[in-house]
Structure 1
Amino acid sequence: MDRRDCLKAGLGLSLLPLSNAMASNALPTRATVRPGDAGWPSQAQWDRLSEQVGGQLSTPISPFLADEATRAEALAQIKNPFYIGDQPALTQTSGYHGAWLSQPSAQVVAARNSADVVAAVNFAREHRLRLVVKGGGHSYHGTSCAPDSLLIWTRAMKQVELHDAFVPAGAPSGSAPLPAVSLGAGAMWIHAYDAVTTRAGRYVQGGGCTTVGVTGLVTGGGFGSFSKAHGTAAASLLEAEVVTADGQLRVVNAHQDPDLFWALKGGCGGSFGVVTRITLRTHALPDFFGGVSLKVQVADEASWQALVAHSLRFYRDALCNPHWGEQLRFDDERCLQVSMVFQGINEREAKEAWTPFLAWLGENPAYSIVEPLQVSALPAEHMWDAAFFRKYAPQFIARDTRAGSPSIHMLWKGDQGQVGWYLHGYASAWMPSKLLDDAQRDAAAKAICTAAAHMPVELHCNKGLFGAPKEALDATRNTAMHPAVLDAFALALIGNAGDPAYAGSGGVVNEKKAERGAQRVQASYDALRAVLPSAPTYVSECDFFQRDWQQAFWGPNYPRLLKAKRRYDPDGMFVIHHGIGT
């Protein structure tokens, strides 16, 4: 029995009691009051909260519904994620068809520190208010968006502190110190990368999109371009500060409140409290980071399926290792698009890795190389160096176009299309390593081709840890994420979206188009399921209407997460869509 068979057997045994746990997975519903209800706080009570938080309480108003000058600026910046993130009334996704629309809360506390968060949590508990929390605001499920709620907005809490030798609180005497970085709940990944990589010459495992909030990504599990080398972002979590439903600020780690600490490593922090600060282990920086691009068009269906099968074989033999990450995209026009990154090897070695693939393409006239292989590398310390890219490669980045914006603000140009988008449909599934085996690869290729005929299928190779080193696997195994991630060679992503649909922005949802998009996503996902009898998936990038979501997101870890939820939030104060205990 090989390693994958052992993993499957272990999962099967551990899932036996899960159906019983699902039957009683929900906590008692906590009744909340809304504006106009008898229990809604009086103005005097709101004023007292405002005093407690130093005047940081206000009524959030969408800039698209404000005065003419403010609206004009908002329209000019509608594809600038730094601007969107600075608006307490907006979220980075403007909605999801049939599910939710971005709408502001009734009141917002712009928290500056943990004391402000404690005050807001206590106020919400005492007055039975719906409470939501927003840092980066990137949730596809709208978890930081709820009208008639009190919003705790952590945007201003973006402190970054580097540690040469960090030891978690309460650790036994003699515990080995580790290099680390501590980040406030409002920090974005560009803040982390600028401090850790550009200026300190180390690496922190984070997200690919620079404007995503650090805390939300980590507590949801967290993948970045180089996760195949270091595991998930949650796997690097050493300590967190979190305000729980009782208003207590806790410092949690493997030695203090270890059950809550484990739950924050992929169980979605919004289910358990308000995280105010996290500390992540940092890693040695390789000499180079780099990227590879290639686009291939195929003439006929048989050759298309053969190309997909060969791509899977090539990936298994040459790229399924810690050096490689990011995407292979199979679209509905029989086109393969490669957008991959590498680390720990140089440009020459990266080119050599792709030589056999190019030779194979050249043997068949059915394959046309539309965009030739391009390989480029750069010194790793410049990977998120905005000044470097503005000087040498401005075509790869987008900038914060506001006057006086911080010089470090940059995002990859390819991520700009996601800013403000209105999702029509979204689906994902981890692809188990057995699909790379000779016996199953053709069936996997056929399923991918059938799925791609409805909607392009992206294989995000960095979001599955098969091929990762033992240390990364062991660290990720000690998180709340579904164990299927350990044996997945990639996360298959299928999505469809339209333009921003914020109220007042002029964007109008075309319901028929949205419905068609949702149907195409579902048809593509259903076709892929032909080789996925069970389809665990990543909680942060999945269908809003995910079926069997407890099992799909957390599998055998769900009962343990539910136990932690009942201990730290027995009244169900923290509610998010498809959150623990909801």
Structure 2
Amino acid sequence: MTPYAAFWLTALLVASSNATPLWFSSEANVLMDSDLRGLSSSVAALFHPASSSPSNGTSSRCRVYPGDAARPSDEAWTKLNELTDGRLVSKPQPQSAVCYPGPAYDGEKCAAITSTWASSYSHMHDPIEAMSPVAQGMTCLPPNVFDSHNCTRGGFPLYVINATTPKHVQLGVNFARNTGVRLVVRNTGHDFLGKSSGADALSIWTHHFKDITYIEEYKDDKLGYSGPAFKAGTGVQAFEMYKAASEKNRTVVGGEGETVGIMGGYIQGGGHSPLSSLFGTGADQVLSFEVVTADGEFVTANSTSNPDLFWAMRGGGGSTFGVATSVTVKAHPEMQTTASRFSFTSEKIGNETFWAGIRAYVDYFIPNADAGTYAYFVIIPNVWTGIFTFNMSPFFAPNKTLQETNALLQPWFSRLDELGIKFDPNVTHFDTFYEAWRSSFPLEVVQKINATTGSRMFPRTNFETEEKRDELFENLRQSSENNRVQVHFNIKAVDPANADNAVNPAWRQNILFAQQAIRWPVNGTAAQTLKLREEFRDGDMKRWRDISPGAGSYLAEADRMEPNFGQAFWGDKYPRLLELKAKWDPKDVFYAATSVGSERWRVESVDGLPNENGKLCRVEG
């Protein structure tokens, strides 16, 4: 195997159209034939790329698990650790193992973990922790959060490669493909659907690909881009990327959540942003990927090198076509930003007046999105008191002065005043996007143990007439009255230069990206929980689907039970994505819940619920 001629970046880089791939120094460490010399032929066969491997893995119905006759030997796992420079983490324990009887018990550590459990910062540096316990299977949580009565691995991986070079990733991919062991890819653990978990799997952890380099002038004639860019490792998180960009008087399109790994699954799945109404989705910004493919090769994917893979990875979803080690993205100018945070409740004004205030807001969704703003708001019902709460957190106006933002908000604020709704708009101007972002958005938390979220993208047609706005409003109100917490984003995703990629076409028409959550009794049975989730899918979520025919959902923030997920997440692009999945990953080495081609597989969970606590097996028939 002959790798690319390796050279690396240590300072400012200049790239020209169709340039040789630009690598970080860590990316020069790729798998060579010499790395496998001296191994017995049977062991070496486990690590060869598909092009030279005599092994075809396994054709059994399920992936290979502990206890199976085909399970790799201890010698094989030991050799995987050696070849990956000792970076194989064997049988990592869930954090909360210290809270349960057994050799790991430690009362002080349990208390410390419990006190910070809800914070994403307490999970993102762990090799296996998932920020959606429901999708993991809830088999080991702090007892005062959820008492699982004992601690089992559940949907957590059994082995983790703490990867820092392409070689580490290549070895993991080859090993999984050639042995039939289940493979998962994890960055920070941010996802609603369990995509970065997998019972007893081998996990490739990309969290420590942390390099960032600024490129003053990147030119790609085919993409029609000439300008500044950043190349960043896939482990780079929002708080790291935004800071690095601001130091260059730039910004990039990323999520609002500060600990999200925006160069990983976020950007590969599309990725909505506080800047999307100005510049499009995260995937629209990508200029190039460095990626390990399912056959174990390290390649560049851009407009001229593997362009079909480049197309698929810009919106086709993470853990599907390859494992990216770095991404090059467009950089935009740093800009002034104005933000507003406020709330009001129905407690003193009554429910009818409260909902009149919400209905008034719906009239301004189109003009606000067209003005380039991003509104992140929540509607919370209280089933015990009958009180509804509205939180704007925040109304975010990049590249807008204080006066321009006040002018946008004033028509709605005047109607709230007329209704007698009291609120403090707290409209604040910031000199930079970075300062506004740091000050305005709440820290994301570990998801609830008894809830899941469904989502829908409501297109412009839902807001173009008063009749359609009334219809949408009544459906939102009905969801609140059905005790559904709602999270909304008044946003559009512009289509920069008619970007040709796998991003869900529904984003191009979106005006309101809406989410609602179903909750169930914490101590209910699995059958009760499943019944409630099915009723939610076929009830409240169906109402939303019915009034937005042909629209879609966002694959990273959705219900794992979303019906016809291919159409919902990719629209008319799904058939091409299936073709490219067959080309680039014919053995389905990569699997994630509701990913492209995942309908061929199912997790046979131990409790029958949609989670990762069970074997991954082929769907028969």
Q: What TM-score do you get using the length of structure 1 for normalisation?
A: 0.80
Secondary structure of 2:560 counterpart: coil
Q: What is the aligned partner in structure 2 of residue 157 from structure 1?
A: 209
> How far off is 1:269 after superposition?
2.5
> How far off is 1:531 after superposition?
2.1
Q: What is the aligned partner in structure 2 of residue 205 from structure 1?
A: 253
> How far off is 1:221 after superposition?
0.5
Q: Mean alpha-carbon deviation: is it higher for 30-39 or for 50-59? A: 30-39
* 1:379 and 2:431 aligned: yes
Percent of paired sites with the same residue: 24
Secondary structure of 1:116 counterpart: helix
Q: What is the aligned partner in structure 1 of residue 63 from structure 2?
A: 32
Q: What is the aligned partner in structure 2 of residue 343 from structure 1?
A: 398
8 Å contact from structure 2 (residues 336, 429) kept in 1: no
Matching residue within 447, 452, 455 for 1:428? 455
> How far off is 1:308 after superposition?
3.4
Aligned letter for 1:33? Answer: V
Q: Using a 3 Å threshold, how does the CA distance of structure 1 residues 511 and 188 change in structure 2: closer, same or farther?
A: farther
8 Å contact from structure 1 (residues 97, 423) kept in 2: no
> How far off is 1:220 after superposition?
0.8
Q: What is the aligned partner in structure 2 of residue 248 from structure 1?
A: 297
- Counting matched residue pairs gives 507
Q: What is the aligned partner in structure 1 of residue 116 from structure 2?
A: 77
Secondary structure of 1:363 counterpart: helix
- Unpaired segments ≥5 residues, structure 2: 1-58, 98-103, 141-153, 382-386, 599-621
Matching residue within 43, 51, 72 for 2:74? 43
Matches of 1:383 and 1:423 in 2, distance apart? 35
8 Å contact from structure 1 (residues 289, 343) kept in 2: yes
Post-superposition, which runs of at least 4 consecutive aligned residues in structure 1 deviate over 3 A? 28-31, 69-73, 96-103, 174-177, 296-309, 328-337, 474-477, 496-499, 508-524, 526-530
* 1:352 and 2:407 aligned: yes
Q: Using a 3 Å threshold, how does the CA distance of structure 1 residues 552 and 476 change in structure 2: closer, same or farther?
A: farther
* 1:450 and 2:478 aligned: yes
Matches of 1:550 and 1:29 in 2, distance apart? 26
Matches of 2:350 and 2:506 in 1, distance apart? 35
Cα deviation, 1:133-163, whole Å, max 9, x if unaligned, reads 1001112111110112101111111111111
Q: What is the aligned partner in structure 1 of residue 544 from structure 2?
A: 528
Matches of 2:534 and 2:349 in 1, distance apart? 27
> How far off is 1:109 after superposition?
0.8
Matches of 2:523 and 2:458 in 1, distance apart? 33
8 Å contact from structure 2 (residues 357, 415) kept in 1: no
Matches of 2:375 and 2:339 in 1, distance apart? 11
Matches of 2:93 and 2:325 in 1, distance apart? 25
* 1:492 and 2:514 aligned: yes
* 1:368 and 2:421 aligned: yes
Matches of 1:29 and 1:345 in 2, distance apart? 58
Matches of 2:564 and 2:138 in 1, distance apart? 17
- Over aligned residues, Cα RMSD in angstroms? 2.9
Secondary structure of 2:559 counterpart: coil
Q: Using a 3 Å threshold, how does the CA distance of structure 1 residues 30 and 285 change in structure 2: closer, same or farther?
A: farther
Q: What is the aligned partner in structure 2 of residue 20 from structure 1?
A: none
Aligned letter for 1:485? Answer: W
8 Å contact from structure 1 (residues 29, 571) kept in 2: no
Matches of 1:100 and 1:554 in 2, distance apart? 32
Q: What is the aligned partner in structure 2 of residue 275 from structure 1?
A: 324
8 Å contact from structure 1 (residues 424, 517) kept in 2: no
Q: How does 1:495-514 map to 2 (within 5 A)?
A: 495-496=517-518, 511=525
Q: Using a 3 Å threshold, how does the CA distance of structure 1 residues 230 and 176 change in structure 2: closer, same or farther?
A: closer
Secondary structure of 1:539 counterpart: coil
* 1:87 and 2:119 aligned: no
* 1:483 and 2:505 aligned: yes
> How far off is 1:514 after superposition?
5.8
Cα deviation, 1:548-574, whole Å, max 9, x if unaligned, reads 111111111001111111111011111
Q: Mean alpha-carbon deviation: is it higher for 280-289 or for 224-233? A: 280-289
- Would you tell me which structure has more helix in proportion to its own residues? 1
Q: What TM-score do you get using the length of structure 2 for normalisation?
A: 0.75
Q: Mean alpha-carbon deviation: is it higher for 480-489 or for 421-430? A: 421-430
Secondary structure of 2:319 counterpart: helix
Secondary structure of 2:426 counterpart: strand
Secondary structure of 1:422 counterpart: coil
Matches of 1:140 and 1:577 in 2, distance apart? 10
Secondary structure of 2:271 counterpart: coil
Matches of 1:227 and 1:331 in 2, distance apart? 25
> How far off is 1:526 after superposition?
3.6
Matches of 2:380 and 2:447 in 1, distance apart? 23
Q: Using a 3 Å threshold, how does the CA distance of structure 1 residues 83 and 307 change in structure 2: closer, same or farther?
A: closer
Q: Using a 3 Å threshold, how does the CA distance of structure 1 residues 305 and 75 change in structure 2: closer, same or farther?
A: closer
* 1:64 and 2:96 aligned: yes
Aligned letter for 1:80? Answer: S
8 Å contact from structure 1 (residues 428, 542) kept in 2: yes
Aligned letter for 2:470? Answer: D
Secondary structure of 2:129 counterpart: coil
Q: Using a 3 Å threshold, how does the CA distance of structure 1 residues 306 and 460 change in structure 2: closer, same or farther?
A: same
Aligned letter for 2:311? Answer: W
8 Å contact from structure 1 (residues 132, 149) kept in 2: yes
Aligned letter for 1:237? Answer: V
Matches of 1:476 and 1:277 in 2, distance apart? 24
> How far off is 1:362 after superposition?
2.7
* 1:419 and 2:473 aligned: no
Matching residue within 483, 488, 492 for 1:459? 488
